[in-house]
Amino acid sequence: MTDTLGVSVRKPPIEQTVPPRRVWTVVLAGLGALLCSLDVVVVATALPALRADFGASLSDLEWTINAYNLVFACLTLTGAALGDRFGRRRMYVVGLAVFTLGSVASALAGGPGQLIGARVVQGAGAAVLLPLTLTLISEAFPAEKRGVAIGVWGGVTGLGVAAGPVLGGAVTEGLSWQWIFWLNVPIGLAMLPLAATKLRESYGTRPQLDLVGLVLAAVGVTGLAWAPVRAPQAGWGSAEVLGALAAGILFVAAFLAWERRGARYPMLPLAHFRQRGFSTANAVAFLLFGSLLGALFMITQLFQTGLGYSPLEAGVRILVWNAMPLLVAPVAGALADRFGTRPFMFVGLLLQATGLALLAWQVEPGVGYGQLVVPLIIAGIGISMVFPSVANAVTSSVPLSEAGVAAGVNNAMRELGGVFGVAVAALVFTQYGGYGSPAAFLDGCAPALWVSAGAAGAGALVAAFAPSRTRA
């Protein structure tokens, strides 16, 4: 083209600049994912302080973590459905507001019961917020550009899960445990007006909520999640745990039957599971988080109980693991656009399994930190490759209008995998070791890490059967 003086002017390609709304979408979705994933585990290193302040029992302490995870796992499909029906931007703002209010209530809690109740509110907000972060990104970016954005999302999500104990230890030692929750409040308040004005509104294809499906899914997932949460106290063979498993299976079966035949506008179209990319990616998500959170549960204790470091000292030493998602996930997401998601899921899970296996092999009396650094880095690179690849594979395997449903299913599988991963790791740990001494802890820690490595290896086998390319 030429200007008014006849001088040739080269117009810059449109693809060289990213529209501001897309930038805001990535920023706000990434921050929302960071808040939700961080609060999955951030309380872990504050448990001794909570016990001292409240005189809380072991069961009370466990429920400060499990209440959030359980509600998160049970309501995430509901959150995705609400976004499709009432607007994804609108429900993102609602979820963020509920999460922020839950954080205020947690910080002001005067006893373990109040804290557990506030954590339930937090979990409900996160169940709406997190699946919509992925849906908003999928809707804002074309398929060929989506991998980079989801890579950034995966990086901050993984960083939130892995860095929770680090931040929790630093804040608890430097300030007080209440500041773990107060830190969420200014971030949430700043994000609310930005989300309301900078995000684009979009809707799913369902004009009505599947209320029957919502109830059946919530009850079924609650039963399946309740069983591993309670098993360490009640025992896997107890009537409570077996009853919860039976009820969960029964209601999930009823949910599937309803979605197949009874629902006019099904919350979960079962035809999606005929897509190999969708089914394998969700299985990978379950095994990934089972391995990751099971290992995280043991590693944060390994550095404190087994090796004698303070919470902050432990967090600093785990940074070689924590930092990997932030560094690697955006690159992996971008490369997955070019080469497909399967190689990154497969190789990433192999690296995670290898790193955790090396870590388990090194865990013995007299082990030094220098022997654990390389295994932690290998495992961290592995999870960094899988986070964005799984998210991209799930959303790319369904039509864009179904991205909310896909994100909801993916998040439900992740949270359930994490609940089971922690429960199984704890069960194996108690079979081989205990808290009587550092040596006894190491005796139980190593087998638990071997189990977490095995879960990652099983995920790699599943990833090998994923399609080389998912449809846009």
Q: Give the pLDDT confidence of 335-384 residue by residue, as tens digits.
A: 766 777 778 888 889 999 999 999 989 888 777 778 888 889 898 888 87
**Residue 6 in this model has a pLDDT that exceeds 80:** no
Please, which pLDDT band fits residue 249 given cuts at 50, 70 and 90? very high
Residue 214 or residue 263, greater confidence: 214
- What's the rounded Cα separation, in Å, for the pair 67 and 89? 26
**Residue 59 in this model has a pLDDT that exceeds 70:** no
Report in angstroms the alpha-carbon separations of 17 from 12, 23, 203: 9, 10, 27
Residue 3 or residue 196, greater confidence: 196
- What's the rounded Cα separation, in Å, for the pair 422 and 41? 11
Please, which pLDDT band fits residue 447 given cuts at 50, 70 and 90? very high
Neighbours of 319 (CB within 10 A): 14
- Residues 6 or more apart from 275 whose CB is under 8 A from it? 397, 398
Position 112 scores a pLDDT of 80
Which single residue is written with the structure tokens 């497909």? 340
Neighbours of 380 (CB within 10 A): 26
- Residue type at 94 in one-letter notation: V
DSSP states along 265-333 = S-SS-GGGGGSHHHHHHHHHHHHHHHHHHHHHHHHHHIIIIIT---HHHHHHHHHHHHHHHHHHHHHHH
**Residue 12 in this model has a pLDDT that exceeds 50:** no
- What's the rounded Cα separation, in Å, for the pair 91 and 406? 17
Least confident of 128-132, 231-235, 422-426: 231-235
Give the pLDDT confidence of 133-152 residue by residue, as tens digits. Answer: 877 887 777 666 666 676 67
Least confident of 153-162, 209-218, 412-421: 153-162
In terms of Cβ atoms closer than 10 Å to its own Cβ (0-12, 13-18, 19+), residue 53 is middle
Nearest Cα to Cα of residue 355 among 409, 284, 270, 292: 292
